[in-house]
Amino acid sequence: MIDYLVCSVFFLCLTMLLYMLGRAVEKEENISENLICGYVLYSFGVAVGGIILQLLNAPWILFEIYMGIIWLSIIFYIIYNRKKVKYFDIDLKKYISENWVIYGVCIILVFMMCFYYAGFWLGNHQDDGYYITKVATLPYSQIGGNYNYTVGINGKGFNAYIVNTWELEASVYVKILGVVPTLFLRLFQSVFYYFLYLNLIKLLAEKITQKLHWKVNAKYLQYPTVITVLISAYYIALSDYKILNLRDMFQLNTGMFLGATMVKLFGVAGFVILYLKFQEEKDYLRLFGSWIVYSVVLMSKSTIALPIILIVMMACTILYFWDKWENRGRRLSYCLLIIYIAIGILLPNKSGIATATQGEFLRTADSIVIWPCIVIFICSFLLKEKIIYKINTQIFLMTMLVLIPQVNDWFENFSVYEFVAGRAWTAVAYYFLILNMIYLFVLLDRIKIKKTIVYEMGILIGIACFMISTVGFKLCGGEILPQNEHREAGVRKCLSVMRHNIYFVPDSTINLGSKLEELARKEDKKMYVIMPKAIYDNDALHFPAVTIRTFAPDIVSLSALERFGSSDNEKFSTYTQQKYDGFVSAPGKETYNDFKEEIKDLPVNCIVVQNYACKDILEEDGYIYYTSINDYHIWYKNK
């Protein structure tokens, strides 16, 4: 449990550090704004250095030193400004009254995570096999090039992740703190991102209401955050009952720590906040400079940010020119749009991406929760506020840039893949949902509804979202794969499994990894391991082969090649797990010879099985029994 204490203290210190950095820079009293500002500036510094060092394929320790310099610089800057800035001059009673919903929602989201063990065991559909393993093994691997972290070998081709630095950043924290990577990422970094996102929603609400012609009750602006409970509900329940149907919603259940999830949630709203902050300034360079900084931060989290950056910056730039310089600005806006479309026509049409994106749009439009949002969106025009017109026009422009043929060719080419386009549209949809939750409470304030009724309505919406989340999981949480028929979840069982596997991964995988790492160090050489690719642990599908290097960085997990097959060695690229599966399910001379034939060109020197009946055949072939742990039995060759 010491890891829980260490991670808690670290993220508390990080949060305070970012808040004080933002306060020192912004000189504002707004706590949410200071926290978000501090995070963006800190992440920008991490991204710039991290990207350069990754491109240079520098040793990991140089980045560790660089991170130390960043922390020391921030601490020095905070101390230097201590006489000018009162960091903790906070009216605590006022802060609690205006932010208690944020903390309540955060607690609910953490509580719901404790039910999702099956999603964690699946590893976000095995994606964690890359990301978490990369975080765990970067201190022992190259940080640039195209390394296959899941398997432990060199990859091939161009590395599309070369500008992503969040894994590199997390690897420093995990290494220095000496904590279990799965716990650090799946629980604590997820909670940290949830908290940041809730503050971002509140900040967006504050920036919008500051531009209105009347003062909105500050306590109302925390209530839009309750929608997060709904969009983070169990993804199969949301899609099967057509409550909300967006791409990769499971990432909000078990993958909040991922860079891609952060980009989907933060991407659009962050740009709009910067637009609202700087739109009235004469010096447009501050606006575009802040967008560039924010773009670098998003790209350092995930390359799915590219199409999001494109459509949001284009939409906001058109609005900025239109509003800023009257007739000249409007002509400039028209010219910009015409040039954009003209170049788009010259770009190759990606019909597959266009069709997939249209499908995502139709599924979104068919979602129950979208229709009340559309009604609220229409009603927002009744406020007759210029800023509302601008924001709503931006929504229309983004939708046009994504969906209209020829106009959307830029978006298609920036997306490259269908799933990237789908996630970019999901980012727009999430923004639309939170925007209309903000509009709802602005409308309630405008029509002079009693404060107590507004408070009660906010709480009731939150309770309704929580009920949808809990009941939805109860009805559908027994199944993790959307293509299968959903079944009920055993709530007590879910909590029990998490209680007995406190590091958010099966203890059996941690134990196996520890033994394999121990063996590699004992033999003082790389262990090339064939092992079970998929197992059932507490009735949930788990892939130890793609996870194992998180806990055994000195091995090569050949059984992960089927899922992560990138290799510069053709021998590795052709391996499949079928002959191994045949041997362990029916141990015999014939099945073993088939398996041996398949691995004859591979440097296999360690085999892990769950069927102890394989013992005699393995030992006849020169393998030495090492140990058994949980349901796994390890044999190796010392030659």
AA identity, residue 30? N
Write b or e for each residue in 378-391: b if 16 or more Cβ atoms lie within 10 A of its Cβ, otherwise e: eebeebebebbebb
Q: Is 605 helix (H, G, I), strand (E, B) or coil?
A: coil
Please give the Cα distance from 547 to 382 (Å, whole number): 53
- Predicted confidence at residue 283, as pLDDT, reads 67
Q: Spell out a b/e string for 228-245, using b for 16 or more CB atoms within 10 Å of the CB, else e.
A: bbbbbbbbbbbbbbebbb
Task: Kindly report the backbone phi and psi dihedral angles of residue 541, in degrees, each rounded to the nearest multiple of 5, phi listed first.
Answer: -70, 130
Map residue 175 onto helix, strand or coil: helix
**Ordered DSSP codes for 443-478:** HHHHTT--HHHHHHHHHHHHHHHHHHHHHHHHHHTT
- Between CA 269 and CA 272, with CA 271 as vertex, the angle to 5 degrees is 65
Cα dist. 15→19, 37, 61, 196, 206 in Å?
Answer: 6, 12, 25, 9, 21
Torsion on CA atoms 483, 485, 489, 495, rounded to nearest 10: -20
Please give the Cα distance from 164 to 138 (Å, whole number): 13
**Among the residues of 279-304, which ranges form H helices?**
284-301
Give the C-alpha separation, 614 to 595, whole Å.
12
pLDDT for 254: 93
The reported pLDDT for the residue numbered 563 is 85
455-466: average pLDDT: 93
639 pLDDT tier (thresholds 50, 70, 90): low
Residue 147 banded pLDDT, cuts 50, 70, 90 = confident
Return the pLDDT at 321.
84
Q: What is the signed CA dihedral for 275, 278, 279, 280, rounded to 10 degrees?
A: 160
Question: Contact, 99 vs 516, CB < 8 A?
Answer: no
The residue-averaged pLDDT of 531-535 equals: 94
Q: Output the average pLDDT for the chain.
A: 92
Q: What is the mean pLDDT of the segment spanning 257-284?
A: 90
How many whole angstroms separate alpha carbon 305 and alpha carbon 297?
Answer: 9
Task: Work out the percent of the chain whose per-residue pLDDT is above 70.
Answer: 98
| DSSP codes of every residue in 252-275 | HHH-TTSHHHHHHHHHHHHHHHHH
String of DSSP letters for 542-562:
E-HHHHGGGT-TTEEEGGGTT
Place of tokens 């194992």: 548
Domain boundaries, the chain: 211-503, 507-636
In order of 18, 192, 489, the CA distances from 11 in angstroms are 10, 7, 32
Token pair of 51 as six digits: 């990207």
Query: pTM of the prediction?
Result: 0.95
pLDDT digits (tens, 9 = 90+) for 124-146: 888 888 999 999 999 988 888 78
What is the phi/psi pair of residue 214, to 5°? -145, 160
Angstrom distance (rounded) from CA 518 to CA 524: 10
Closest CA to 619 of 590, 592, 601, 586: 592
Q: What is the pLDDT of residues 160-199, one digit of tens each?
A: 788 999 999 999 999 999 999 999 999 999 999 999 999 9
The pLDDT value recorded for residue 323 is 77
The DSSP H or E segment spanning 541 is strand 540-542
Read off the tokens for 45: 């510094």
- In total, the chain counts a number of residues equal to 639
Task: Please report which confidence band the pLDDT of residue 448 belongs to, taking 50, 70 and 90 as the band edges.
Answer: confident
| Cα–Cα dist 561/603, whole Å | 14
Mean pLDDT of 14-37: 92
Answer whether residue 328 shows pLDDT above 80: no
Is residue 358 very low, low, confident or very high in pLDDT (cuts 50, 70, 90)? very high
Integer angstrom CA distances of residue 521 from 242, 342, 504: 52, 61, 26
Residues 373-422 have pLDDT tens digits of 999 999 999 999 999 999 999 999 999 999 998 889 999 999 999 999 99
In the predicted structure, residue 568 carries a pLDDT above the cut 70: no
Do the Cβ atoms of 624 and 638 come closer than 8 Å?
A: yes
Lowest mean pLDDT among 61-75, 306-320, 360-374, 565-579: 565-579
Residue 282, pLDDT score: 64
